[in-house]
Amino acid sequence: MKKTQLLILFLSVNIILSCTREQNHILSFDREFTIKGKEILKEDVEILELYIIDTLLLAKIINDNYYFSVYNPKTLQLIDNIAKKGNGPNEFPAGLVYNHFEKENNQIKIWVKGTNTHKLSQINVSESIDKNKTIVGKEFQLRAQSKYFKVFYIDSTKVVGRSANTTPHMNRLQIYNPMLDSIIKTVPVFPKVENNNYDLSFLFYRYNSLYISTFRMKPDKTKFASAMVMFNRIDIFDSEGNLENSIIEGEDFPEKTLDEYLKAKQENIDKINVKRYYQGSFVSDSYIYCLYYNQLQNEYSKNSIPVEVRIFNWSGEPLCKIKVPDYLQSFTIDEKNGLMYGIALFDEKILIYDIKSILNEI
């Protein structure tokens, strides 16, 4: 009798574990909307990305002299160019990544990072416009070997970022103290995919590419959202690097497909049906907005498809999804005016969408 009970218990546990491994997560959105955009800034095709920074619209641009342009979001008129390229005072010699903005004493300031210098700099946008020259405030030299792709300033003793895929030991998140030049905490990559190939080229452009994510900080600096490109999931962390919640859709772990992807020869890589899921994100104090593709990796940039903007709260609850007919690569949200700006880079279009009624409803 005891043997029978143990056998039943053993089988039950294995069934439960098996179901857990094969579990499919289904996200349920109560509301669904469809929007149509209007093309804007038709002469400004050199714009790569747009960011709402309080009452201004910041554009990352292709320009011989500057990294960013500042626009009036109401009139879409150019106000000024900032972040001059060069080696002089208040200039930037290498590629520049926009990280986030903050407002201090009614001054709008942005934090940027040099892609090669690994220097974190604060630009006073308001003062730069007033004086018609780039004004740099605080600056920190980051630990070079960390090779942060995105990094956010919390205070003088704490910055939080994620590494680039060109880091041999890539991470999902890392906390760094610039005053002590010390790494406080590292969250390693997950979900863990087994790999025995340590060739750097393979690591950088095959294995590590699995863990690329759009990494955003909540404006009050208490939480972070990491929306993954090749895993159908969003992970929410607190400011200490603790995982608070995961928003997962579909399989927990598409092990067979990922194994094929890692083992395939380079010439056969397009035959593996791995997908791109979350392409971009934007966060506010209330919501996480994510640009969702669900497109085969081998079709990315080749076939334009309609996309979705999915909206979650910071507890990870799905609120609504917005169907967008355009093939956007990035977007930003102006919650105050109920607008969304999108960049359809491959189709060379910049679009604006009225989402005021949607925001009022959620």
Determine, yes or no, domain membership for 18.
no
The residues with which 52 forms a beta bridge, in sequence order, are: 57
Greatest pairwise CA separation for the chain in angstroms: 87
Q: Is the dihedral of CA 356, 358, 361, 362 positive or negative?
A: negative
Determine, yes or no, domain membership for 14.
no
Determine, yes or no, domain membership for 2.
no
Report residue 269 as tokens: 């890589």
Q: How many CB atoms lie within 10 A of CB 162?
A: 25
Determine, yes or no, domain membership for 32.
yes
- CA atoms of 249 and 171, how far apart (whole Å): 22
What are the backbone dihedrals phi and psi of residue 293, each rounded to the nearest 5 degrees, phi first? Answer: -105, -60
Contacts of 220 (CB under 8 A, 6+ apart): 285
Determine, yes or no, domain membership for 243.
yes
* Closest C-alpha among 124, 99, 126, 103 to residue 113: 99
Mapped onto helix, strand or coil, the DSSP state of residue 252 is coil
Please report, for the domain that includes residue 114, its CATH number: 2.120.10.30
Query: Structural domain tally of the chain?
Result: 1
The residues with which 281 forms a beta bridge, in sequence order, are: 290
* Closest C-alpha among 234, 329, 354, 242 to residue 279: 329
> pLDDT of the chain along its 362 residues, tens only?
444 443 343 334 343 333 334 456 888 998 999 999 999 998 866 899 999 999 999 999 999 999 999 999 999 999 999 999 999 999 999 889 999 999 999 999 999 999 888 899 999 999 999 999 999 999 988 876 667 888 999 999 999 999 989 998 999 999 999 889 899 999 999 999 989 999 999 999 999 999 999 999 999 999 999 999 999 999 999 999 999 999 999 875 677 888 899 999 989 998 998 999 999 999 999 999 999 999 999 999 999 999 999 999 999 999 999 999 999 999 999 999 999 999 999 999 999 999 999 999 98
- What percentage of the chain reaches a pLDDT higher than 90? 77
- CA atoms of 176 and 186, how far apart (whole Å): 9
Helix (H) / strand (E) containing 129: helix 125-131
Which pTM does this prediction carry?
0.90
Determine, yes or no, domain membership for 3.
no
Q: What is the pLDDT of residues 134-171, one digit of tens each?
A: 999 999 888 766 678 889 999 999 999 999 899 989 99
- What domain range is 172 assigned to? 24-361
Mapped onto helix, strand or coil, the DSSP state of residue 298 is helix
Q: Strands of 330-334's sheet, edge to edge?
A: 38-40, 349-354, 339-344, 330-334
Determine, yes or no, domain membership for 141.
yes
Helix (H) / strand (E) containing 353: strand 349-354
Determine, yes or no, domain membership for 1.
no
